[in-house]
Structure 1
Amino acid sequence: MFTSYRRILSAPGALKMSSTALIARLPISMVGLGIVLLVSAATGRYGVAGAVSAAYMVSNAGFAILQGRLLDRLGQGRVLAVASISFGVSISLLVTSVQAGWPIVTTYVFAAIGGAFLPQVGSAVRARWSHVLDQPSDVQTAFALEAVLDEAVFILGPILVAVLATSWHPVAGLVIAVVACVAGTLTFSAQTSTAPPAQPRDDGAGPRPSMPWRAVIPLAVVCAALGVLFGAAEVTTVAFAEEKGHKAVSGALLALWAAGSLSAGVITGAIHWRRGPSTRVRWGSFAMACAMTPLYFVGSLPVMGAVLFVAGFAIAPTMIATMSLTESVVPAGRLTEGMAIMQTGLVAGVAPGATLSGLVVDHQGASAAYLVSVVAGLVAAIAAQTLPRPEGSLRGLRSRRD
């Protein structure tokens, strides 16, 4: 089963590239929660803590595509090195502003700067896999591996930052996140053998290839809708556990959901798929909506854990297919930018999803709020149906632009 993984990791520099990218990505799941824990501990105001965290996340979503474009044009080494150091400095200043009691506006500013400079390592490592590997099936396996590592980051990161902040010091979680980001990203960016070549605007090779928006826009909508689904499901699950009198169990429930996705990601990477990624995106999006529907009817915590675990099996295959399709249609010279568009869509959807589900929880209860995730899944499924057909026409979008 793991032959496919051994094959891709045996490529020169692949294992080091992927492992350092894993470390560099830890802040993705640590900083938002770390900011909430730090600011709330210092001020006693969760509203302010949430607002500072939101400034960080909104800025990250707003600047991710620009950073992806720079990664393609200037090369990963320079851009990631500057981004990681700027991120480390800004988050360090954020911590200082909170600890020293500076005006709260400075904390917002440093949070926004930190979000803007968070290195887009997830997009960068997927672009590297596309550059290093020749066979589409191997690229598919590599994307499955990265999806599994993403799930590991989102399982381990919040646990690590919460334990450090509550048992040691509120600053500790953010310190570890900064160290992981700077050290991991600098090590990753220094690996020039796996990096795709820069694609400057004026390189004498003709006009810059255009983005195949006819495929990219529906894919971005799919990602945004799935972001809404994720954000809504997380808030709703916490509310469900609280309604049952065991709020602390919410972390375990969400971990089961992520574990289901992780398991499906491992299996997906080991399978040689006969159907192309566009077909899998269409079916996967529909499966996401179907997988969330039973949650509305669940009334006990043990059953909810089991249903969430099963529902998680729809996540990774859908995301892997989405990234594989992006890789197959976006020109190589704009691949990191294309990946960043998908990541931005996911991030941008989380906050609205959390807000909508929170409103439904307040007025109708937690079970009803799971319908927000169902509707988001249906929106993703509808957007996926607008992708160009047949599969060959999607590949043609890229061939005409390379």
Structure 2
Amino acid sequence: MFTSYRRILSKPGALRFSMTGLVARLPISMIGLGIVLLVSAATGSYGVAGAISAAYMLANAGFAILQGRLLDRLGQGRVLAVASIGFGVSIAALVVSVQADWPVGWTYVFAAVGGAFLPQVGSSVRARWSFVLDQPAEVQTAFALEAVLDEAVFMIGPILVAVLATTWHPAAGILVAVVACVGGTLAFSAQRGTAPPAHPRDSTTGPRPPMPWRSVVPLAIVCAALGVLFGAAEVTTVAFAEERGHKAVSGLLLALWALGSLTAGAITGAIHWRRGPSVRVRWGALGMACAMVPLYFIDAIPVMAVVLLVAGFAIAPTLIGAMSLTESVVPSGRLTEGMAIMQTGLVAGVAPGATLSGLVVDHQGASAAYLVSVGAGLVAALAAQTLPRSGPGQI
């Protein structure tokens, strides 16, 4: 099983850029929660803390595609270095504004600027793999590896930031995330030998290659719907455990869900698939929708743990298929932008999903709130069915 992974990681520079990319991605799962812990400790208000965290996430979603476009046009080295410094300065200023009790408006500003500057390392790593590897099967394995590392980030990051904030200092988790982001991103961007070439626009190169929106739009909808599903399921699972008097178990339940995805991602990368990624996206999105249905009927925590573990097996294969399909249909000169569109869809969907499920929990209880995830899964499945069935990566 590990032969496929060993083969891609043996490529010159591959292990180094993948591991530094892993470190640089830690803030994805740490900063939002870190802001909530820091601001709530200083102000006593979870409402203000959540709003500031939302400003950070919305700014990130709004500027990620623009940064992806700049990465394609100017190259990863220049853009990521500037973005990492801007991110580090902005988030450090956010911490100072909270600790020094500045007017809260400054904290909102620094959160938004930090979110806008957050380096798009996940998209850059995948674009780099696409440049380094020339076999579709190897690219598939590389994307599976990155999906597994993403799951690891989302399992480790929240635990790390919570422990640091509660046992050391409320700002400790954020500051560790900043150091990881700036240091990891600068180390990643300094590796020029594996970076894809820039595609600057000038009079000799002509217009940019067209974006294949016929495939990109349905894929973006799939990713956004999955983001809603994730955000809703996380909030609902916490409420489910709390209703049964075991709120602390919610972390274990969500970890099992992530573990199922991580395991499936590792298996996906080791398999040589005969069918194209569009087939896997269609079936994976449908599988995710179906996997959410039983959660509505479950009342016992042990049963929920088993079902969530199994349901997690549909996550990584679907996302790997979406990224593989993006890589196969988007022109190389706009690949990072295409990847950023998918990442933005995922991020943008989480907050609405969490908000909507929270409203349902308040009025109907946790079990009913799982229907939000079911609905989001159905939207993803329907969008996946509209993907073209001919062309690159399509079967």
Distance in structure 2 (CA, Å) of the matches to 1:153 and 1:317: 17
Distance in structure 2 (CA, Å) of the matches to 1:323 and 1:204: 31
**Can you list the C-alpha shifts for 1:153-196, whole angstroms capped at 9, x where unaligned?**
00000000000000000010001000000000000000001100
SS state at 1:272 partner: coil
1:239 equivalent in structure 2? 239
Q: Is contact 2:277-2:393 (8 Å) kept?
A: no
2:271 equivalent in structure 1? 271
2:100 equivalent in structure 1? 100
Distance in structure 2 (CA, Å) of the matches to 1:192 and 1:203: 26
Q: Is contact 1:215-1:394 (8 Å) kept?
A: no
Please show how residues 354-393 of structure 1 align to structure 2 within 5 Å.
354-390=354-390, 393=391
2:200 equivalent in structure 1? 200
SS state at 2:113 partner: helix
Distance in structure 2 (CA, Å) of the matches to 1:56 and 1:205: 36
2:188 equivalent in structure 1? 188
Q: CA deviation at 1:206?
A: 2.8
Q: CA deviation at 1:362?
A: 0.8
Relative to the length of structure 1, the TM-score reads 0.97
Q: CA deviation at 1:202?
A: 1.2
Structure 2: state its 5+ residue gaps. none
Distance in structure 2 (CA, Å) of the matches to 1:317 and 1:291: 14
Q: Is contact 1:388-1:394 (8 Å) kept?
A: no
Q: Is contact 1:239-1:366 (8 Å) kept?
A: yes
Distance in structure 1 (CA, Å) of the matches to 2:393 and 2:361: 43
> Which AA in structure 1 matches 2:195?
A
2:172 equivalent in structure 1? 172
2:158 equivalent in structure 1? 158
Q: CA deviation at 1:395?
A: 5.0
1:291 equivalent in structure 2? 291
2:250 equivalent in structure 1? 250
Q: CA deviation at 1:265?
A: 0.4
1:131 equivalent in structure 2? 131
Relative to the length of structure 2, the TM-score reads 0.99
> Which AA in structure 2 matches 1:231?
G
2:36 equivalent in structure 1? 36
Distance in structure 2 (CA, Å) of the matches to 1:59 and 1:221: 19
Distance in structure 1 (CA, Å) of the matches to 2:357 and 2:291: 17
Q: CA deviation at 1:208?
A: 1.2
Distance in structure 2 (CA, Å) of the matches to 1:208 and 1:227: 29
Distance in structure 1 (CA, Å) of the matches to 2:137 and 2:281: 16
Q: Does 1:16 align with 2:16?
A: yes
Distance in structure 2 (CA, Å) of the matches to 1:395 and 1:292: 28
Distance in structure 2 (CA, Å) of the matches to 1:96 and 1:306: 44
**Can you list the C-alpha shifts for 1:210-237, whole angstroms capped at 9, x where unaligned?**
1000000000000000000000000000
Distance in structure 2 (CA, Å) of the matches to 1:164 and 1:177: 11
Q: CA deviation at 1:343?
A: 0.3
How many residue pairs match? The answer is 394
> Which AA in structure 2 matches 1:152?
A
**Can you list the C-alpha shifts for 1:35-78, whole angstroms capped at 9, x where unaligned?**
00000000000000000000000000000000000000000000
> Which AA in structure 2 matches 1:28?
I
Distance in structure 1 (CA, Å) of the matches to 2:109 and 2:150: 28
Structure 1: state its 5+ residue gaps. 397-402
Q: CA deviation at 1:394?
A: 3.7
**Identical-pair percentage:** 82
2:327 equivalent in structure 1? 327
Distance in structure 2 (CA, Å) of the matches to 1:120 and 1:361: 33
SS state at 1:200 partner: coil
Q: CA deviation at 1:122?
A: 0.1
> Which AA in structure 2 matches 1:265?
G
